[in-house]
């Protein structure tokens, strides 16, 4: 959903964007690459950091783009023209979603380089790339049905989408270097601190460089859209919204003037304002859900219109269902709603 308070943020680079296959220098040794995506969200930002590992000069890449030939061709162009003739030494991935990890195996294989990611996201990516767990198929359809999505046509399409993740992430590197909260990575002349964030992916890693005053936020803080926070079928009783809100509250400890490099949208300043906006956004959604459930018991599917206020296609509906359950679970697990499994097999939530 678009950010109604976007004017509180500042975009220091204005409307400048890197050209396809090109780069835009953010600071010495820090370059911005932008790749297309085959979704409604049509681009992802990737970052190049001048590095040196074991005495070899080169570059670290943060995030990869989806696995397709167009993105590979653009990477080849970046390698030929924008690495100052140096190799890629390391691929860092913020989290396991296809737009971030898709080409990691290709990049790591091509450069025979290090692959850094959290252990949780590494293992989930390996599992999901080799199977259908949590990414569509029968279990996802059953999960959505238990939350009131009973339209047979949609359920049939979700059941059929069983190879969704592997189609975008056909392989994951077989070895990794583990990133954990609080780790410091020496990248070139600067220290970057890993900040683990929860609720969007199992163990998302953002990178903060105090020396440059820069935060590579990944998907945890985006300027325009609110980060997807979903309950998925593999962990149906999770409380990702609580985890997410706790994680972004931690970001308030970073300096207010930090330049935020998000995975989608443009680099911006105004981190504290953005965290406040996201907190407000979810507080309002929680209030709406609580009010609706106070009038009658509600399931997740019937709250979609209230929460999203627009028509959704199937892809958007699956994300929206995950978000709707996330808000219901947050209230239920906080003791503000009670949950009942009705005779029709659907969970309904009502006031306590």
Half-sphere exposure of 275 (CA within 13 A, CB side): 19
Instruction: Compare residues 219 and 239 and give the one whose CB is closer to Zn ion.
Output: 219
What mask of x and - would describe binding to Zn ion in positions 202 to 221, judged by CB under 5 A? -----------------x--
* Smallest distance, Zn ion to C-beta of residue 116, A: 17
* Smallest distance, Zn ion to C-beta of residue 50, A: 26
**Could you tell me how many residues of this chain bind Zn ion (CB under 5 A)?**
2
Contact between 68 and 39 (Cβ < 8 Å): no
How many contiguous H segments (helices) and E segments (strands) does the chain have? 11, 14
Instruction: Compare residues 37 and 337 and give the one whose CB is closer to Zn ion.
Output: 37
Q: Where are the beta strands (DSSP E) in 156-275?
A: 177-178, 184-187, 190-197, 204-209, 214-218, 259-262
| Residue sitting closest to Zn ion (CB) | 97
* Smallest distance, Zn ion to C-beta of residue 91, A: 17
Distance CA 57, CA 191 (A): 16
Distance CA 52, CA 61 (A): 12
* Smallest distance, Zn ion to C-beta of residue 190, A: 25
Q: Does 63 bind Zn ion (CB under 5 A)?
A: no
* Smallest distance, Zn ion to C-beta of residue 201, A: 6
Distance CA 28, CA 208 (A): 16
Name the one range near Zn ion by CB under 5 A: 13-21, 97-105, 158-166, 249-257.
97-105
* Smallest distance, Zn ion to C-beta of residue 136, A: 16
Name the one range near Zn ion by CB under 5 A: 70-78, 94-102, 139-147, 306-314.
94-102
344-349 long-range contacts, Cβ below 8 Å, gap at least 24?
345/145, 345/146, 346/145, 346/146, 346/147, 346/148, 346/150, 346/299, 347/146, 347/147, 347/148, 347/299, 347/300, 348/148, 348/297, 348/298, 348/299, 349/293, 349/297, 349/298, 349/299
Q: Does 97 bind Zn ion (CB under 5 A)?
A: yes
β-pair partners for 60: 49, 90
Name the one range near Zn ion by CB under 5 A: 26-34, 51-59, 96-104, 286-294.
96-104
Question: What letter does residue 307 receive in the DSSP assignment?
Answer: H
Q: Tokens 């190049």, residue? A: 48
Instruction: Compare residues 219 and 233 and give the one whose CB is closer to Zn ion.
Output: 219
* Smallest distance, Zn ion to C-beta of residue 104, A: 14
β-pair partners for 31: 25, 48
Name the one range near Zn ion by CB under 5 A: 21-29, 57-65, 91-99, 342-350.
91-99
* Smallest distance, Zn ion to C-beta of residue 94, A: 8
Instruction: Compare residues 95 and 285 and give the one whose CB is closer to Zn ion.
Output: 95
Distance CA 188, CA 270 (A): 27
Instruction: Compare residues 227 and 269 and give the one whose CB is closer to Zn ion.
Output: 227
Instruction: Compare residues 169 and 298 and give the one whose CB is closer to Zn ion.
Output: 169
Q: Does 348 bind Zn ion (CB under 5 A)?
A: no
Comparing CA positions, the residue from 23, 37, 108, 34 lying closest to residue 67 is: 37
Q: Tokens 């080799």, residue? A: 130
Instruction: Compare residues 38 and 255 and give the one whose CB is closer to Zn ion.
Output: 38
The values of phi and psi at residue 227, to 5°, are: -60, 135
Instruction: Compare residues 97 and 274 and give the one whose CB is closer to Zn ion.
Output: 97
Comparing CA positions, the residue from 188, 181, 167, 183 lying closest to residue 220 is: 181
Instruction: Compare residues 51 and 121 and give the one whose CB is closer to Zn ion.
Output: 121
| Interface positions with Zn ion (CB under 5 A) | 97, 219
């Amino acid at each position: 959903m678009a950010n109604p308070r976007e004017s509180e943020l500042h975009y220091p680079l204005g409307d400048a964007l890197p050209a396809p296959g090109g780069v835009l220098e953010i600071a010495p040794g820090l370059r911005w690459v932008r790749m297309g995506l085959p979704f409604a969200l049509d681009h992802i930002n990737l970052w190049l950091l001048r590095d040196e590992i074991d005495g070899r000069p080169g570059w670290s890449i943060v995030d990869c783009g989806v696995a397709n030939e167009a993105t590979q061709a653009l990477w080849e162009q970046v390698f030929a023209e924008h690495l100052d003739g140096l190799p890629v030494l390391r691929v860092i991935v913020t989290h396991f979603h296809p737009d971030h990890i898709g080409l990691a195996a290709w990049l790591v294989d091509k450069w025979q380089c290090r692959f850094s990611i959290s252990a949780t996201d590494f293992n989930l990516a390996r599992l999901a790339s080799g199977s259908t767990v949590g990414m569509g198929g029968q279990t996802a359809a059953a999960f959505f049905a238990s939350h009131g999505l009973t339209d047979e046509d949609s359920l049939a399409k979700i059941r059929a989408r069983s190879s969704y993740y592997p189609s975008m992430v056909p392989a994951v590197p077989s070895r990794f270097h583990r990133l954990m909260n609080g780790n410091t990575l020496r990248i070139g002349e600067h220290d970057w601190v890993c900040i683990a964030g929860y609720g969007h992916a199992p163990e998302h890693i953002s990178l903060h460089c105090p020396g440059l005053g820069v935060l590579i936020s990944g998907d945890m803080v985006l300027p325009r859209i609110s980060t997807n926070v979903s309950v998925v079928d593999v962990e149906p009783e999770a409380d990702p919204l609580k985890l997410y809100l706790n994680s972004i509250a931690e970001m308030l400890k970073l300096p207010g003037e930090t330049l935020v490099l998000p995975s989608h949208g443009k680099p911006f300043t105004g981190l504290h304002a953005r965290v406040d906006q996201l907190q407000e956004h979810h507080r309002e959604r929680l209030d709406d859900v609580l009010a609706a459930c106070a009038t009658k018991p509600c399931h997740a599917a019937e709250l979609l219109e209230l929460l999203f206020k627009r028509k959704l296609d199937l892809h958007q509906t699956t994300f929206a269902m995950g978000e709707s359950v996330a808000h219901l679970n947050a209230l239920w697990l906080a003791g503000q709603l009670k949950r009942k499994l009705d005779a029709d097999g659907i969970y309904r939530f009502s006031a306590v």
